[in-house]
Chains A and B, each alone.
Chain A
Amino acid sequence: MSAATVKRPSGTAAIASLGLAILFVLSLFVGVGDMPLGRLLSDADALELLLVSRLPRTLAAILAGAGLAIAGLIMQTLARNRYVEPSTAGTAQSAELGILLATLLWPSASLALKSLAAGAAALLGTSVFLMTAHRLPPTQPFLVPLFGLVYGGVIGAAVTFIGWQADLLQYLAVWTNGDFSGVLRGRYELLWIGALMVAVAWFIADRLTIMTLGRDASVGLGLDYARMMQLGLLIVSIVSALGVVVVGMIPFVGLVVPNIVSRLMGDNLRGTLPVVALSGAALVLGCDILGRLIRYPYEIPVGTVMGVVGGFLFLWLLFRRPSHA
């Protein structure tokens, strides 16, 4: 009966919320600038530091983490494959290509417009990936992530080539490696759109779960499969593009978080989706705090920390099979 003794959704959600709350407070007080708790209200500089830098950075990490985890979850639903996520299947690379082209063609464009370009490119790139993924034989589940890696690699190579030609390689690094150190008030608020997308995803959670049963079952239950596919694509593209534009690419979040939650709680998204969002937020925020502490007072970008932490989590997932298998 090992399969039945799984944690109750509410319990897991509570643990995730508590962990996130602790990390939230921790994040506000970890950093180079001096910000003693007792002087917060009397010391204008300390309060300024909190409101302009620490709080925005913390919120950015939470929003990006929740968004990326949900984007990964939806991508896995659309591709009907557990081993894909936006950063390994061409979505993030397409977004980079979009923002690079926008920067080249229209250097004075605002962050919002560059986000739009990144979003449009991500949508296009992800659509091509999914169309191809659906043609691959379902008997070979590892072809899909494999194809995604190659596809993302090819687009990434094109981005690097163009960036090199245009002498923008350093600029490019800002998007290819996620980093919250540049986040200040006024420079991260676009990520709230990602939070809105998470809310939309929760609203359509039942439909997304039905989609994991495949096209025939979805149509049989009266779902507009094509439209749901488009909506899912839109959410994945917007969230990924915003992530790339505002903080840069953070790998593995979309891969490991949904998989771990699925192991613990199953795939009924009505119950698991909030846990995925909370856990994604906690993971990214935790990695950012770690990056601030490891070489204190210097910082390690969250993308790098996540590369290591996420890699280990992924290996753990691969080696620790579910108990009933």
Chain B
Amino acid sequence: MIRIENVSFRHGPTNILHDISLTIPKGGITALVGPNGAGKSSLLSLISRLQTLQEGSITIDGLPVDTTPNRQLAKVIAILRQDSIVASRLRVHELVGFGRFPHGRGRLTEEDRAIVGQSLQQFDLADLADRFIETLSGGQRQRALVAMAFCQGTDYLLLDEPLNNLDMYYARELMRSLRAIADEKGKTIVIVLHDINQAGAYADRIVAMKDGRLIADGAPAELLNTDILESVFGFRMPVEVVDGKPVALHFR
């Protein structure tokens, strides 16, 4: 369980998060949605201790993120930041293999290698395993990074806009993979999404943020309605039910 209590965060004179309290139970996919600058990435950075907590407290399975040793947290939570750049010439399997670093601090065991293999399979990277990252397309690179985070083998997986750079096919593939991971392996996934309909189709719960505050929180069926979406995104969009799932027609 991730427990966020009274977290505020400021960057210079700007207040980025205002008194956020949120509990994310173990298991399932929670989607964070909201307009640009809502504070989604900052919240993810604070949960994953990439940013230093200023006010309030965050615990993961009871471990406070600000005082628990970094090495220990690396076995509990994995994060993929938005716009991660891999500038070094690493092969796909090497990069994914570094996801195992928190466990063996370097040398890969047979078990580690098996997990790396599974991760490559899971994200359709087996054919690309020996390629250098820099020779891949943006979408392939993004999948390699997600595979690396998954390979870390943590119960909690935080993904900041992983659908960036992915075409429709791979966006769908990635969401389906994440759904399978959550259902079959009991992983807890927190994912920042821009496409509200991806959130509606694959998440168990949607948390909407705006201007550094939580403004809506609920199952997709509750959250995807015209009034709530207007309060989040600032314009009215019709919501239709297709195959029993709500679909926001945000492009109209």
Contacts and interface: CB of A to CB of B under 8 A. Distances in A.
Report if A and B associate in a common complex. Answer: yes
Contacts of B152: 220-221
A217 interface: yes
Interface string A169-206: 00000000000000000000000000000000000001
Interface in B21-72: 48-50, 70-72
Contacts of B105: 206
B88 A222 contact: no
B98 A221 contact: yes
A216 B84 contact: yes
Interface stretch (B75-83, B189-197, B211-219, B220-228): B75-83
A210 interface: yes
A236 to B, nearest CB: 18
A221 B89 contact: no
B106 interface: yes
A91 B87 CA distance: 24
A13 B135 CA distance: 24
A50 interface: no
B166 interface: no
Given A213-B86, A267-B88, A268-B91, A220 B135 contact: no
A219 B86 CA distance: 15
A103 interface: no
Contacts of B74: 220-222
A193 to B, nearest CB: 24
Interface string B98-125: 1101100110000000000000000000
A213 B132 CA distance: 14
Contacts of A19: none
A216 B81 contact: yes
A324 B135 contact: yes
A3 B84 CA distance: 22
A10 to B, nearest CB: 16
Contacts of B71: 222
A266 interface: yes
Contact of B130 (A4, A267, A268): A4
A43 interface: no
A33 interface: no
A210 B106 CA distance: 10
B90 interface: yes
A207 B71 CA distance: 13
Interface of A is mostly: loop
A270 B131 CA distance: 18
B79 A220 contact: yes
Given A221-B152, A266-B91, A3 B50 contact: no
Contact of A212 (B73, B88, B99, B102): B88
A139 to B, nearest CB: 10
A222 B73 contact: yes
A267 B134 CA distance: 12
Contacts of B75: 222
B89 A209 contact: no
Contacts of B49: 219
A4 B92 CA distance: 11
A83 to B, nearest CB: 12
A242 to B, nearest CB: 27
Contacts of B90: 209, 266-268
A223 interface: yes
Contacts of A4: 130-131
B10 to A, nearest CB: 20
Contact of B102 (A214, A221, A262): A221
A219 B87 contact: no
B131 A3 contact: yes
Nearest to B101: A221
A320 to B, nearest CB: 15
B70 A266 contact: no
B94 interface: yes
A292 interface: no
Interface in A227-283: 262, 266-268, 270
A102 to B, nearest CB: 38
A202 B28 CA distance: 41
Given A3-B132, A266-B132, A324-B135, A220 B50 contact: yes
Contacts of B88: 209, 212-213, 266-267
20 contacts: A3-B132, A206-B98, A210-B101, A212-B88, A213-B86, A216-B50, A216-B79, A216-B81, A216-B84, A217-B81, A219-B49, A220-B74, A220-B81, A220-B152, A221-B99, A221-B102, A222-B70, A222-B101, A262-B89, A266-B90
Q: 6 closest pairs, A vs B, by CB?
A: A222-B74, A267-B88, A212-B88, A222-B71, A266-B89, A206-B106
Interface of A: 3-4, 80, 138, 206-207, 209-210, 212-214, 216-217, 219-224, 262, 266-268, 270, 324
Given A214-B85, A220-B81, A266-B88, 17 more contacts: A3-B135, A4-B130, A206-B106, A209-B88, A209-B90, A213-B88, A216-B79, A219-B50, A219-B70, A220-B50, A221-B99, A221-B102, A221-B152, A222-B74, A262-B89, A267-B89, A324-B132
